Structure 1
Amino acid sequence: MKKLHILIYLGILSFIWACSTEKNTMLSRAYHGTTAHYNGYFNANDLLEEAMKTYRENQKEDYYNVLPILQLPSEEEVKNMYSPIDTAIAKCTKVIQRHAMPSMEKPASKKEEHNRWIDENWITIGIANFYRRDYDLAFKNFEYTKKFFSSDKSAYVAEMWMARTYMEQGKFTEANFAITNLEKAQESMENGDSKDPKGKSSKSSKAKKKSKNKKEKEIPPFPKKLRYDLAITKAMFAEKRKDSEGEIKALTKALEYAKKSKDKARINFILGQLYENAGDRGKAAYHYNRVKKYNAGYEMSFNANLKNALNAGGEKVRKSLKKMLRDTKNAEFKDQIYYTLGKMDQQEANEENAKANYTKSAFYSTTNVRQKGMAFERLGDMSFAKKDYLRAQKYYDSCAKVIPETYPNYEAIQNKASKLQSLVKAIETAQYEDSVQQIAKLSPSDQLAFAEGVIKKMKKDEEERKRQDAIRLAALQEIQLKKPSNGNGSKFYWNNDKAKTEGFEEFKKQWGQRSNEDDWRRSDKVVFASFTDPSDSSETVENTTPSTETALDSLTPEMLVAKLPLSDSALLASRNRMMNAYFDAGGIYNEQLNESALAEQQYRTMLGQDFNHDMKLLAAYQIYRLHSPEDQAAVEQKDYILINYPTSDYAGYLRDPDYFLKKKEREKLTQEAYLTDLDRYERGLYYPVIMKANGVINDEKDNPYRSKYILLKAMAQAKMNEDKRVVLPTLDTLIALYPKTPEAAKAEEMKKIILNGYSKNEPVDFADKSIYKYVENEPMFVLIFLTDKINNIVAKTRVVDFNKEYYGKLRLNVTSKVLKEQNVILLKQFKDEIEAASYVSMYKRTRNHLLDMQKMKILFISEKNLLTLFETSKLEEYQLFFDEKY
């Protein structure tokens, strides 16, 4: 028993002796090393690996873009990982505090470390802080490890992580320097200058090395197992610098050293994407095909199959894709399969099949809004290439409604949809007005019969819409049933944040970006009532709901017939809308799309109408401008204008190219003459004023100031005669010749005063009042007045580029107009005068894109005042109104 007690006592003493961190004995090193290895390094790395594994398994990969080499959490995502990361840091920190040999109580005086696992704990703390995105603290840990353990292989590991930390901080020069140092060490090892150790150096080996040279520390050999990590780090460096060639080279090298099947699969997939972007379809297909040989996971393997199909091609691949369509587990991916088939069809120049497959892709994209947007964009591009701009706009508009702002081509799609929207509105308006005019010519019985057919067609379309919605809903439910159900905590939906978030995301996937408003399912749906059958309803992808103004079930033929332009006034209004719409469409084709042939087609449609209309003059002149003056088409239009509109300004210009300059000079002289006569009136020279007014009234019927002269004559007569009734014939002449003018309104006012006498509290004021009206917070347009030195197309391009950079979110519509023979750029529309004034201010102080246009006159104006301005051409008067009000 005494011997046993002695042995126990000696064992306790030995254990206490081994627990000391100041004694460098084999027993102490074994104890503290084992504790540091398992309690710290092993457990901490197990926590980090499990946390990163969970993060990556729950991370949704974006296969539309090149995959990141390493998936690292963002600032928001890493917050969910704080617990395991902080626990790992705490474990390693405690190990270093308790098991460093000698202890860390006086770090500055510490010269060496006898515990062979302490350096790994320092690196683990650095890696944990790296994942935590605390890069400064991570770098300090790696830097300390590299300096203090410079004679150990952990110095290379530390420098590699320093390079990664530099990259995340954007310090690419320092990262490149660290990578270069590691490459030199690897090259030295591969050339046989040193041997890679199989394990940790023991204390005795370290002591022997130290005894050989106490002043110099021996440089450790580069470890072979670090070659893969170094190659991945080089690839990450190239990835950050967007150097595709460097990334391919580094990943190819990493593939040689990769051991894990999952790593090989990911590298092959990324290489396939990089080669595909570089246009090397052969190598891309090779690497995509290699993905299937490794443990890639179903989704990556599925996407590799799709991309391999696109790059490899062939009927065998097509059959494989069609087989995948029949597999129920691919229900969620039908949209991607159809999209791939569509791209293969396009590569083979089979556009009809491509269009059908893209349409199916959009239809089956019940949850993947990115895929739906891509399908619509392809359909829009195909229609745009065929110059079918109406259908292209509808596809682009459908795309714009579903894609998020992160979509790669987001701004371009929004601009295309907005740019073509005016064209679609103009063409559909013209077609609608033309159709209802034709139906209005039918007999009443035929009109009712036609309306009945329209209602039947509308009901049939509504039934088809409901059927398509049912199919789409079934597809969505099928996808949801195949998704694994996860525990979500609280059973009550509105108390469950996770359930609400998932529901919101599902809503966005199915319905796209929607405003929080009533009837949201009908928002952004423009329905043009039409009495004509659609030209090709089978190609409609997005179904629109019927107008809510009248329920479809209660719609009657009589209600539709009532909308026809049956009276003379209604017919005239319909013709005006149609002619204006055709003219606007021609302008958009010519000025925005550079499609002169399509523009001429719209103008010739206007000329072909079987009724007289003033817009025909404008259409003929536009056709004349689309050709050289000596072309036969231009000669025909010139003759047409000279014969049918000989007194028009356009005829004058065709006879004399200086016509407008001379006219402007004449107008200036006429204006000066009127101002002179007005001054005479003010000085009391009434008789000369009446004589001059009589001359203008009788001999100058085209004088733009003729109505003003009649009013001036009446006012002079009133001054010269006690009996004011003498003025009445002159006032009646003014009202008859120029009704609905400011002068006629003034004449009515004077006549009322003469006949009825003065109102007791109404002072008489014969002064001119402004024809422009001010309304607060009214929507505004902006007018830019161009000089003769710049072409209107060039000017409009500059303004569009300026708007894209500084006012992209406003989606301003830019058109060219002519005001008093001066070209102007019209921008619409701003929500109020404050927004418009802000735009004008930015325009005046920004030279970028605008160049010398920055100095041109720019004003903003309300819609009503804009109409008045174009009707009266009184720019000077509006300038005074603008300066006073704004």
Structure 2
Amino acid sequence: MPVVVLWGCSQYSTNPGSVAFNNLTAKYNAYYIARTETEIAERAMRKAYQENYNQILPILLPLDSTLAMSVRPQLENAIEKASIVAERHQNSKWLDDSYTLIGKNRLYLGQFDDGVEALRYVFTNGRDEDDKNKALIWLMRAYTQKQDYSNALNVAEYLSQQPLNKEATRDFYLAKAYVHQRQGEYLTAVAILEQAFPLLKRGAEKARLHFAAGQLYDRINQYALAADHYRAVGKNRPDYDLSFYADMSSLQNRVLLNPNVDLSSVGFDKMLRDRKNNDLQDRIYYTMGLLAERRGRYPEAVEYLQKSVTTAGANVERIPYTYLELARINYDRLENYENAQAYYDSALVSLPPQTEQFKTISDRKKALDEFVAQMTIVRTEDSLQALAQMNPAALDRKLDVIIQAEEDEKKRLLAEAQKALEASSRPSAADIGTPFINGNERRWELYDPLLVNQGKVEFRRLWGSRPLEDDWRRATKENASFNTGTQIVGNKPPGTEVTATTTPPGVPSGLTPETGMVNGSVAWLARRDELRKNVPISGADFTASERREEDALYNLGKIYRFDLKESEKAVSTFTRLLKDFPKSAYREEIYYLIYLSLEEGDKNRPLWKEKLLAEFPNSTYARLLNQELTAGKSGGVPGSSANEAYDKLFGLYSAGNYTEALAQTENALALYRDSPLVDKFALLRIFLVGKVRGRDDYLQAINEFIRLYPDSSLLPRVQEMLEVTGRASIRR
């Protein structure tokens, strides 16, 4: 009889008693424990998750394996217990739920392949449609996390055709809205999210989703609809931080909807006075700064954002986003590229590398590093040339003005240092922006990222970008006294006022900071002689200064055109170069770049093409312009791809058909100018030009390659060819 009982309770039996037994033992043993462990882990991960209110809140929390590390034992235990159902209770109705638990817990742990396999198993072999739909919703989340949006939307399309219960409908809407949010389709995302709100229970999670909806509406400039959702946050028991940000966003929308309202009276001042918001004052100033920018009050916006940095206190994780806004305003609105560079640099110090915009910001910062270096050269040489054109007496007077400005700046810095020293000797917890330990002990500056970043910005403002080297401030360095600070602007472009301020030097030997230098003293005259040495008075020095300025303007134009993607400013810079240096060696390339930078419908565009063809009819740039319209029609080099075309051209070269190969290569350069192989075509052209046209054209082709393809991996080889050709010329 015992044998019969055991057989009757087998997990493979369809006997009603066996099924009931396995249902009961699965639910109240293995499955119950697995579900409980999962819920505990989910609550812990939700509590540990740090919302970033600088960004749009994700509709669903990301599947972050790092976040799951603290609850890994619970998740693994849940997987182990759910696996018991699969192993011992095959005929239980909780089998599908157990596989779904296994799948979602593996996703939490970052085991995506195993998690997806478990969820697919439910869809393929599941017996209950509701369980299959639940697994598919989690499968959507897995695809979304892996940025496989095509498969995620395919699953969504299938689910949209299925009869879903209330819980599954809610989860489906949230998962689908999240897919579109991750793709940047904010209008679609918020439209789907709106359908989920009637299915959500009142509580903190609903409050959070209302805030996310408000942010999405803000992104598509629907401020009235955003305001409705911000007001709804307070009706759903939010925590204090969420309530604060919702209130602040609501005030922000009031300003956007009523442009005439005063920022100081709309309610921000009340929030600043509220003691509960002492640790959130930086966010209030941040919002006020963005609103001031929207109204075109850029200096006011910068002031508010700087207050946001100084009042951040321990909230250092929010500082890089404030620096990014300061960098953007300085770059886009004020065109102060030096400050923008410094703020981008400070932002990258503490911005998490996994942040969505990290690479874009890093690229922009690198471009600005080079941009500021070239801009400094232009301003410096322009100023020095203006000084060189003065008569000796006027030059001495101008240098005296510069020295006096240095002394004034030195006194200001010393006064600030003295003030800071006095403040540090009597620390107070009430001092805004000063970090303290245990409320009364001041933290060392190098332990505080806020103070480190502020110091970096201030250093760059005063001294510019300096290499890591000894004695970088010595006046003996070339043009050292003219490289930073407010530069002397010469008479290019016309009408520019000549002013002068340079960076403060060190205190001269034998003088105290209090006394400084007196006009006419030995130290003053020595300083004047130092400055005069940098002025290009001789003809050779003046010519060298002009060449440095010409090269820097050329580099600035290319940075505008290719790195910063600002075609109008590139055209303006190139035009200035041509005006100041009408015989520039860069003329042919500049004509071509101006032509490319102008819009198709610009009336001046054809004029630059004609100018290039008239002055440099045999240049590579002229051939590119002549062939760009005909290459597509003629098909260029026969073949369906750049690889095939290159192989055929190289075959002609190897066979000695140099003239025909050269003609087809020049045609291919226009046809495949957007191909990754374009530099290989250009290198082949150099060889062919050397075979067909001789040494001078060969050298010109090499120099054109160096200018056109500065980032090519073939550049070292081409530079070596140039050096070899130069040595051969010397030997002859």
User: TM above 0.5, one fold?
Assistant: yes
**Which residue of 161, 171, 174 corresponds with 1:184?**
161
Looking at structure 1, the residues matched to 7 and 531 of structure 2 have their Cα atoms a distance apart, in angstroms, of 114
Residues in 2 aligned to 1:347 and 1:330: alpha-carbon distance in whole angstroms? 24
Would the aligned equivalents of 1:589 and 1:595 in 2 still touch at CA under 8 Å?
no
Question: Aligned match of 1:120 in 97, 113, 127?
Answer: 97
Q: Are 1:398 and 2:350 an aligned pair?
A: no
Q: How far off its partner does 1:450 sit? A: 8.5
Counterpart mapping for 1:589-628 below 5 A: 592=557, 594=569
Unaligned 5+ runs, structure 2: 467-471, 474-479, 489-501, 561-568, 588-611, 629-672, 687-700, 708-720
Q: Name the SS of the counterpart of 1:185 in structure 2.
A: coil
Indicate which of 225, 241, 245 corresponds to 1:299: 241
RMSD: 5.6
For 1:183-332, what aligned pairs fall within 5 Å after superposition? 183-186=160-163, 222-313=164-255, 314=258, 315=261, 318-319=264-265, 320-332=267-279
Percent sequence identity is 17
Q: Is the 8 A contact 1:123 1:145 kept in 2?
A: yes
In the aligned structure 2, how far is the partner of 1:395 from the partner of 1:57?
A: 37
Distance 1:393 1:123 in 2: 55
The superposition leaves residues 792-818 of structure 1 with CA deviations (integer Å, 9 ceiling, x where unpaired) of xx9xxxxxxxxxxxxxxxxxxxxxxxx
Q: Please state if 1:37 is matched with 2:22.
A: no
Q: 2:139: which partner in 1? A: 162
Change (3 A) 1:457 1:413: closer
- Residues 707-759 of structure 1, C-alpha deviation per residue, up to 9 Å, x if partnerless? xxxxxxxxxxxxxxxxxxxxxxxxxxxxxxxxxxxxxxxxxxxxxxxxxxxxx
Q: What residue number does 1:345 align with?
A: 292
- Determine the structure 1 residue equivalent to 2:702: 857
| Counterpart mapping for 1:646-795 below 5 A | none
Question: How many residue pairs were aligned?
Answer: 558
Shift of 1:118: 4.1
State which drifts further: 397-406 or 593-602. 593-602
Question: 3-state DSSP class of the match of 2:236?
Answer: coil
* CA shift in 2, pair 1:160/1:847, >3 Å: closer
CA–CA distance in structure 2, aligned partners of residues 241 and 568 of structure 1: 59
- Separation in 2, partners of 1:25, 1:598: 86
When normalised by structure 2's length, the TM-score is 0.61
Unmatched segments (≥5 aa) in structure 1: 1-11, 105-112, 187-221, 385-390, 483-502, 537-542, 605-617, 626-656, 662-784, 795-842, 862-874
CA distance in 2, matches of 1:300, 1:53: 18
Is the alpha carbon distance of 1:144 and 1:275 closer, same or farther for their aligned partners in structure 2, counting shifts above 3 Å?
same
Q: Does 2:375 align with 1:423?
A: yes
Name the SS of the counterpart of 1:273 in structure 2: helix
Residue pair 1:426, 1:582 contacting (<8 A) in 2 also:
no
Aligned ranges for residues 453-468 of structure 1 at < 5 Å?
A: 454-455=406-407, 457-464=409-416, 467=419
Correspondence for 1:698: none
- Residue 587 (structure 1) shift: 7.1
- Alpha-carbon distance, 1:129 to partner: 1.7
2:36 pairs with 1:85: no
Counterpart selection for 1:60 from 50, 53, 67: 50
1:74-113 correspondence runs (5 A): 74-98=64-88, 100=89, 104=90, 113=91
Distance 1:182 1:480, change over 3 A: farther
CA separation in 2, counterparts of 1:286 and 1:510?
39
Q: 1:511 aligns with which of 428, 439, 452?
A: 452
CA shift, 1:458, in A, is 0.4
User: Which of residues 722, 726, 729 in structure 2 aligns to 1:880?
Assistant: 726
Deviation sequence 1:338-366 (CA, Å, 0-9, x none): 23222222333334433432443455456
Residue of structure 2 in register with 1:610 after alignment: none
C-alpha separation in 1, matches of 2:337 and 2:531: 36
How has the CA–CA distance of structure 1 residues 602 and 28 changed in structure 2, closer, same or farther, with 3 Å as cutoff?
closer
Within the alignment, does 1:356 sit opposite 2:303 as a pair? yes
Partner AA of 1:288 in structure 2: Y
Which residue number corresponds to residue 383 of structure 1? Answer: 334
Task: Confirm or deny: 8 A CA contact 2:119 2:139 kept in the other structure.
Answer: yes
Matches of 1:146 and 1:660, distance apart in 2: 71
1:374 Cα deviation after fit: 1.6
| Partner amino acid, structure 1, of 2:48 | N
Match of 2:528, SS state, is coil
1:491-529 Cα shifts (integer Å, max 9, x gaps): xxxxxxxxxxxx9997556535999xxx9x999458764
Is 2:463–2:485's contact at 8 Å kept on the other side of the alignment? no
Supply the distance in 1 between the matched residues of 2:181 and 2:399 (Cα, whole angstroms).
Answer: 68
AA paired with 2:702? K
Deviation at 1:331, TM superposition (A): 4.4
1:562 aligns with 2:526: yes
Matched with 2:325 is: 374
- Quote how far apart the aligned CAs of 1:392 are: 3.2
* CA radius of gyration, larger in: 1
Indicate the SS of the match to 2:77.
Answer: helix
The secondary structure found in structure 1 opposite 2:161 is: helix
Residues 237 and 116 (structure 1), Cα distance of their counterparts in 2 relative to 1, 3 Å cut: same
Q: Looking at both structures, which has the greater relative contact order when contacts are Cα pairs under 8 Å and sequence separation is at least 6? A: 2
CA distance in structure 2 between the aligned counterparts of 1:585 and 1:377, rounded to whole angstroms: 27
User: Once the two structures are superposed, what CA deviation does each residue of 1:547-581 show, in whole Å capped at 9, x if it has no partner?
Assistant: 59979956953445313238997765589767865
- Does the alignment pair 1:412 with 2:364? yes
Deviations 1:802-836 (A, max 9, x none): xxxxxxxxxxxxxxxxxxxxxxxxxxxxxxxxxxx
